[in-house]
A and B are shown apart, each in its own frame.
Chain A
Amino acid sequence: MSLLQVKDCGIEFGGLKALHDLNFALKGDELMGLIGPNGAGKTTFFNLLTGVYQPSSGEIIFDKTRLNELKPQQINRLGVARTFQNIRLFPELSVLDNVLCGFYHSIRYSLLDAVLDRGRFRQEEAQLREQAFALLEKFHLQDSAEELAKNLPYGSQRRLEMVRALATHPKLLLLDEPAAGMNSTEKAELIELIQRLHQELKLAVLLIEHDMGVVMKLCPRILVLDYGIPIAEGSPEEIRSNPKVIEAYLGERAPKL
């Protein structure tokens, strides 16, 4: 049984077809890559999945629920979390507070409990902070917990965004260019990190990435988009040797002189 099913999905912006007849399924423990040239519709697809846009045709089914008409916050509560291509942290909040925001819909106490300073509030609040620190530690961010998010170096901001997404306890994690702007050491760490997460938390990961090294190493299965149309799907080897993909995205190896 697949966790995510996309059937004939498409979206138009006033006559411009940004995505066209997209079909694929993702299993609950799968790690899949989404690649393609700029403007191919990768981020648009993420926005469809998370309810930022509504598909104009087709159907998206996640965990037996139809996502088509749902709002972003409802989709997140079903278990889809994401990061953004152009990092969207809460810049003026501390690193810890950013993570706490991710716990929002799993918090059981009410604001009234907080105001009355009830026992259950104190207890849960302490647990949340502990959980947040445990998550931050996994991503080596525990030492900067009190810093403002905007003051973190770029690579750490990307990792913090992942922590925050994970705090919502997702079943499916969507990563929009997680390696963008990272140096090679950071990239190597990131690959290891995503692999570990994927195994430890048993969650499905769909990631957009332009760095082929990262994608090929991480993802057993890759989907390629071009002009909103899926042109290929398969293992890294298949993708690498697919003539359509080479033409549209990867490019020919330069002939030896």
Chain B
Amino acid sequence: MIKRVTIVILFVFALLGLNAVVGRFLNAYYLQILIFMGINIILATSLNLINGYTGQFNLGHAGFMAIGAYASAAFSLFAQPFLQAWFGFIPAPVLTPIFFLLSLVCSVLLALIAGLLIGMPTLRLRGDYLAIATLGFGEIVGVVINNMKVVGGATGLGNIPEYSDFFWVFLFAALTVWVVGKMTRSAKGKSFPAIREDEIAALSLGMSNTRVKVTAFVIGAGFAGLGGGLFAHFMGYLHVNMFGFLRSVEIVVMVVLGGMGNLWGVVIAAALLTGLSEALRPFKEWRMIIYSLLIIITMMVRSNGISLKNWRKASA
């Protein structure tokens, strides 16, 4: 027990150290790419739990991200000033992280609730139908936010305090990978891939298909909300267009490319694809074509995902 706590503390300090190094030696542009990588790792890993491990095709992940982003932004913009007046006597270096964490709690909670409400009815659907239903959900979120004057509607929401930095983003990215990894590697968590592989057999072993699917969906949605909250507090400005259908597709591509249900493969794919789309910037109008071609070629050559583990298996 003590040993594990030490490891966690060491990890946090290592991150803090890295944070200082990164902040000093990288310019703002590279730092931004790095942070987007972290956020994408959170999103892709959480979607991996739903799409990859449990095999439930979710095409509305950006919707959950949007809910999380707006929820936490709303907390920071509207609730924080009130709390600030009450707890102003606490020094800012302590208070700010607490506020930030509270705003993230809001984002996770709201995304969890949304996940539960959407998951319960739609997870009865299979395959393509579920994909269409979740796609519809993502669009609805966009329309609703667009018409909510409180959060800026179509003009967007600005002036969000920029709390997210390398430290926070990668701390939560590590947490996401840890949670998904720990769950899916436990005997109980084998129910996720079991449902994906053969639902009838899973039922015959006493697994409740609805329960397993909804669990995966809700946890995945919660982490997407967390990613959204971090994103909001990094950008400082939110607009609905940031969470469109294409954003969902981008996350799906990361999961597929990393290998469905492959923990580290998806983490690597999330980082690589984030970097790749930036690296291709000099090619201007050819950028999206090259990007798409690279994905197509990768899928043709490595249909099980990019990770090394699969590589050995495939060549054996």
Contacts and interface: CB of A to CB of B under 8 A. Distances in A.
A93 B194 contact: yes
B192 to A, nearest CB: 10
Contacts of A104: 187-188, 190-191, 194, 205-207
A82 B194 CA distance: 16
B201 interface: yes
B121 to A, nearest CB: 18
Nearest to B209: A73
B188 A76 contact: no
Interface in A108-162: 109-111, 114-115, 117, 119, 121, 125, 128-129
Interface stretch (A16-24, A94-102, A209-217): A94-102
A76 B194 CA distance: 16
A90 B194 contact: yes
B156 to A, nearest CB: 36
A118 to B, nearest CB: 9
A202 interface: no
Contact of A73 (B4, B182, B188, B206): B206
A111 B183 contact: yes
B72 interface: no
A164 interface: yes
A109 B188 CA distance: 8
Most chain B CB within 10 A, of A77, A102, A110, A119, is at A102
A164 B182 contact: no
Nearest to A119: B1
A240 interface: no
Interface in B198-213: 198, 200-209
A97 B190 CA distance: 7
Given A88-B198, A111-B215, A117-B4, A73 B189 contact: no
B198 A89 contact: yes
Contacts of B13: none
A168 interface: yes
Contacts of B162: none
A73 B207 contact: yes
Nearest to B211: A73
Contacts of A167: 205
Interface in A78-93: 81-82, 84, 88-93
A115 B183 contact: yes
Contacts of A97: 190, 193
A114 B182 contact: yes
Contact of B201 (A71, A88, A100, A115): A88
A11 to B, nearest CB: 18
A101 B207 contact: yes
B205 A101 contact: yes
Given A72-B204, A90-B197, 4 more contacts: A91-B197, A93-B193, A101-B187, A115-B179
A73 to B, nearest CB: 5
Nearest to A91: B197
A115 B1 CA distance: 14
